[in-house]
Amino acid sequence: MNLDIVILAAGKGTRMNSELPKVLHRLGGNSLLGHVLTAANTLKANKIHIVVGFGAEQIRSEFTEQQDFEWALQEQQLGTGHAVMQAMPSIDSADSQNKVLVLYGDVPLTNAETLARLVAQSEGDTLSILTLITENPAGLGRIVRDEGGEILSIVEEKDASEEQRQIKEINTGIMVMPAAKLSQWLQALGNDNAQGEYYLTDVVAMAAADGDCRIGALVTEDEHEVQGVNDKTQLAALERQLQMNNAKQLLEAGVLLRDPARIDIRGELVTGSDVEIDINAIFEGNVSLGNNVKIGANVCIKDSRIADNVVILAGSNIDSAEIGSGASVGPYARIRPGTVLKEDTKIGNFVETKNAIIGRGSKANHLAYIGDAELGENVNIGAGTIFCNYDGVNKHKTVVGNNVFVGSNSVLVAPVTLADNSFVAAGSSVNSDVPADNLTVARAKQRNIPGWKRPTKKQK
């Protein structure tokens, strides 16, 4: 089967009260339209057509580098039928085998498997509709069937009779249609309705009147799967639903979640066995956790790889880093981009690292900054130690060999090298290389001034 996918993404979303186009608002770290495209890409269509209107250039700039899409502009928002019309010139409607799947850029949680089933049942001249059975159909188009259960039409609520408004089966708007027939139906659309718009749903009645076109339906009872976003309340509700979906998948994979309602995954999280995650953990971008990893409360991890048997203690922030097996991080550590912690390292409370390679068994237990540095094995960085890597213009590197001890409140002024087995006395300011097996004491001479009087506060 040949398939083209049309995604309608032209609306401003007035009720969002934002200058950002509605389909660019974020859900689980991805835009609403991004979620729809993720599902659409699983279907391997000939082409994906995106119909844009408000914020068209902003939307295009967000996605043009990701994939080669066909873009169509709906300058005036005159209804869903009118929107699909804008995409039709770039769709081969002469091919009798070609199908068109219509999706919506503000319906982010539609399951790829559901779409595959919908497309699969649209063989031949079949128009397939995804419908929903709901106890709260208010405001939605109703599916009108005949006594034999065949679909006759879709009636929008504003145009529905009182009897039709009692129908519990509603239209989700997601449909698969033969491209050739769709082209004919769109040309025949009118706007004689309460909204004065060209409804795509009117093609269903045309299909029913067409003797050689069958109408099929795939019914879902998962309201979240077909829920659109029209305001921030609905966006928040779907965010929570997405996170609960994520939590369910983690639990099924064997991850221990201390509270499944308090975890946020804003990207992709891959986990090994026997992983434990405490409350309020946030995972952004692409994160992988090895076996027996323990994640404490209020931890944020972004675009990082965490190896086996790692412990990340509460309040730590890890961004674009590699954490080796058996390492311990935190509490309240900040691991910045470019950090590589080798096996059995320890980064303690209020330690910050950036663009630093820290060798096996090395540790900085508390209150230190390690930037633009390479540390060997079994290095000890004392409390209050600062790696001065920036001279106001350029960054410089510090190299520390194996088995080096740096005493508390020391300052290492880069570029500088501390060779193997060297020892830096506490309170030293080191700005030249330290040879192997040397003790370095770099302090100013202490002076004690007798009789010194503290300053006193001046009287006003």
The amino acid at 130? L
Q: CB within 8 A of 456, min separation 6: which ones?
A: none
Q: SS3 letters for 355-396?
A: EEEECCCCEEEEEEEEEEEEECCCCEECCCCEEECECCCCEC
Asked whether 227 and 246 are in contact (CB, 8 A), the reply is: no
The whole-angstrom separation of Cα 78 and Cα 67 is 28
CB-neighbour burial class of residue 418 (10 A; exposed 0-12, middle 13-18, buried 19+) = buried
pLDDT tens-digit series, residues 300-322: 999 999 999 999 999 999 999 99
**Active site annotation includes 49:** no
**What's the confidence (pLDDT) of residue 416?**
98
- What is the rounded CA–CA span in Å between residue 149 and residue 227? 25
* Residues 272-293 pLDDT 10s: 999 999 999 999 999 999 999 9
List the domains of the chain with CATH numbers. Answer: 2-226 (3.90.550.10), 246-440 (2.160.10.10)
Q: How far apart are CA 30 and CA 41, in angstroms?
A: 15
Counting Cβ atoms within 10 Å, is residue 30 exposed (0-12), middle (13-18) or buried (19+)?
Answer: middle
Per-residue confidence (pLDDT) for residue 1, from 0 to 100: 67
- Cβ burial of 61 (10 Å; 0-12, 13-18, 19+) is exposed
Model's pTM, two decimal places? 0.89
Place of tokens 């049309």: 6
Contact (CB, 8 A) for 306 and 288: yes
Nearest to 435 by CA among 449, 450, 417, 447: 417
Helix axes 32-41, 56-63, angle to 10 degrees: 50
Specify which residues 390 forms β-bridges with: 395
Cis omega (within 30 of 0) on the bond before 108?
A: no
How far apart, in Å, are the Cα atoms of 125 and each of 85, 420, 422? 20, 77, 80
Which residue shows structure tokens 């330290």? 434
As a whole number of angstroms, the distance between CA 135 and CA 219 comes to 14
Sign for the CA dihedral angle at 194, 233, 71, 170 comes to: negative
One-letter-per-residue 3-state SS of the chain: CEEEEEEEECCCCHHHCCCCCHHHCEECCEEHHHHHHHHHHCCCCCEEEEEEECEHHHHHHHHCCCCCCEEEECCCCCCHHHHHHHHHHHCCCCCCCEEEEEEECCCCCCCHHHHHHHHHCCCCCEEEEEEEECCCCCCCCEEEECCCCCEEEEECHHHCCCCHHHCCEEEEEEEEEEHHHHHHHHHCCCCCCCCCCCCCCHHHHHHHHCCCCEEEEEEECCHHHHCCCCCHHHHHHHHHHHHHHHHHHHHHCCCEECCCCCEEEEEEEEECCCCEECCCEEEEEEEEECCCCEECCCCEEECCEECCCCEECCCCEEECCEECCCCEECCCCEECCCCEECCCCEEEEEEEEEEEEECCCCEEEEEEEEEEEEECCCCEECCCCEEECECCCCECCEEECCCCEECCCCEEECCEEECCCCEECCCCEECCCECCCCEECCCCCCCCCCCCCCCCCCCC
Residue 38 CA, chain-centre distance (Å), reads 11
Residue with token string 């007035």 = 14
Q: What is the pLDDT along the chain (460 residues), one digit of tens a residue?
A: 699 999 999 998 999 999 999 999 999 999 999 999 999 999 989 999 999 999 999 999 999 777 789 999 999 989 999 999 999 999 998 888 899 999 999 999 999 999 999 999 988 889 999 999 998 888 888 999 988 888 888 888 888 899 999 999 999 999 999 999 999 999 999 988 888 899 998 998 898 888 788 888 999 989 999 999 999 999 999 999 999 999 999 999 999 999 999 999 999 999 999 999 999 999 999 999 999 999 999 999 999 999 999 999 999 999 999 999 999 999 999 999 999 999 999 999 999 999 999 999 999 999 999 999 999 999 999 999 999 999 999 999 999 999 999 999 999 999 999 999 999 999 999 999 999 999 999 998 878 788 888 878 888 7
Q: Which residue has the tokens 């010139």?
A: 89
Which amino acid is it at 110? Answer: T
Catalytic residue among 25, 49, 82, 366: 366
